[in-house]
Amino acid sequence: MANFSKPNNKRDRKASESILTHQKNLSEIELPTGTPLAVIVKLKAEEDKTIILRSVFESVIDDENFLISAPMRGTLLYPLAFDDEVKIEFMEKGSGAYYETKAFAGERVAKDKLDFLEMRFGGYFTRFQRRSDFRVDVNIETSFEVQIKNSEEYVAHDCLINNLSAGGVAMLTGERPEIGDMIQLLMPSEIFGLDKKLTAQINWVRRNNDPDIPYPYYIGAMFHFTNSVDKDDLIKYALKQQREQRRRELFYDKGHPRNN
């Protein structure tokens, strides 16, 4: 006679609810036309290396297929072959949660003189499960580079990072980038031990209406890492800053004066 152990219904139900909460299909995800996408391709010749392409979501075709703008590497179209496997990352509108999914390249489509690519859905949209959601307020003056359209050259813009996590940044700048643009953000040596550029994608752009701040635009960007070391270092920095901020708050809450 088989001996079945008694299931832990509470634990199993909690695990099931967690999976349902963090996985969505095409009909459940909030993905309007124009949502910036990062299309991540693993290089076949070098399996440990990836490249990040820029695209935007266009429309749902059916339950298994959707349409995106033809992926770009810099200002050039990137030639994905039929059935090439990629990973797509984006920020869901409304919730602000980050999702990723596996997809396969389909046929190219011309529409209104623009190039699009059909993609076959490879499963669920899965919400990022990561420790990178530790956000800290910072005050980091730096710069980012964005590629000039129809050119191989880049232009640099000054910016002020005021919110940071290993997931992305919010920052002020004097120039208005386009939503979906891939940028190279210069991170100072205090984070990595040396100056380093990280790839990020512009997710939103807002007008800054505070006359006391000299930067007219407030923008948010999502990091796309090509290795886990940079991501882990950024997590450690965010956690360290968070601990220091809490320590200062406790110090002042005990009656110590603040220097205004």
Same domain? For 140 and 123 the reply is no
Same domain? For 141 and 242 the reply is yes
260 within a domain of the structure (yes/no): no
105 within a domain of the structure (yes/no): yes
233, β-bridge pairs: none
**Backbone phi and psi for residue 14, each to the nearest 5 degrees, phi listed first:** -65, -45
C-beta contacts of 70-78 below 8 A and 24+ residues apart = 70/108, 70/114, 70/115, 70/116, 70/117, 71/39, 71/117, 74/147, 74/152, 74/182, 75/147, 75/148, 75/149, 75/150, 75/151, 75/152, 77/115, 78/41, 78/51, 78/53
What is the model's pLDDT at position 235?
85
Same domain? For 144 and 228 the reply is yes
Same domain? For 194 and 229 the reply is yes
- Asked if residues 41 and 50 have their Cβ atoms less than 8 Å apart, the reply is yes
67 within a domain of the structure (yes/no): yes
The number of residues making up the chain comes to 260
3 within a domain of the structure (yes/no): no
Q: Which CATH number belongs to the domain containing residue 172 in this structure? A: 2.40.10.220
- Asked if residues 35 and 15 have their Cβ atoms less than 8 Å apart, the reply is no
- Asked if residues 123 and 64 have their Cβ atoms less than 8 Å apart, the reply is no
Same domain? For 100 and 151 the reply is no
Domain boundary among 98, 127, 156: 127
Residue 91 or residue 6, greater confidence: 91
75 within a domain of the structure (yes/no): yes
| Alpha carbons 112 and 102: distance in angstroms, whole number | 28
Number of separate domains in the chain: 2
Strand, coil or helix: 56: strand
Domain boundary among 127, 144, 174: 127
In tens, the pLDDT along 88-135 reads 998 887 777 788 999 999 999 998 888 999 999 988 888 865 444 577
Which residues does 103 contact at the CB level (< 8 Å), separation at least 6? 85, 86, 87, 88, 119, 120, 121, 122
What is the model's pLDDT at position 225?
83
Same domain? For 59 and 152 the reply is no
Residue 258 has pLDDT above 60, yes or no: no
81 within a domain of the structure (yes/no): yes
In tens, the pLDDT along 206-239 reads 999 888 888 999 999 989 887 778 888 888 888 8
What is the model's pLDDT at position 170?
94
Same domain? For 101 and 178 the reply is no
**Backbone phi and psi for residue 195, each to the nearest 5 degrees, phi listed first:** -65, 135
83 within a domain of the structure (yes/no): yes
Residue 140 has pLDDT above 90, yes or no: yes
**Percent of the chain scored above 90 by pLDDT?**
36
Strand, coil or helix: 133: coil
Same domain? For 48 and 112 the reply is yes
5 within a domain of the structure (yes/no): no
147, β-bridge pairs: 154
> In angstroms, how far is the first alpha carbon of the chain from the final one?
75
Same domain? For 98 and 160 the reply is no
Same domain? For 249 and 164 the reply is yes
Q: Given phi > 0 = left and psi -120 to 50 = alpha, else beta, which region is 14?
A: alpha
124: amino acid identity, one letter = Y
Same domain? For 196 and 116 the reply is no
Domain enclosing residue 51, as ranges: 10-127
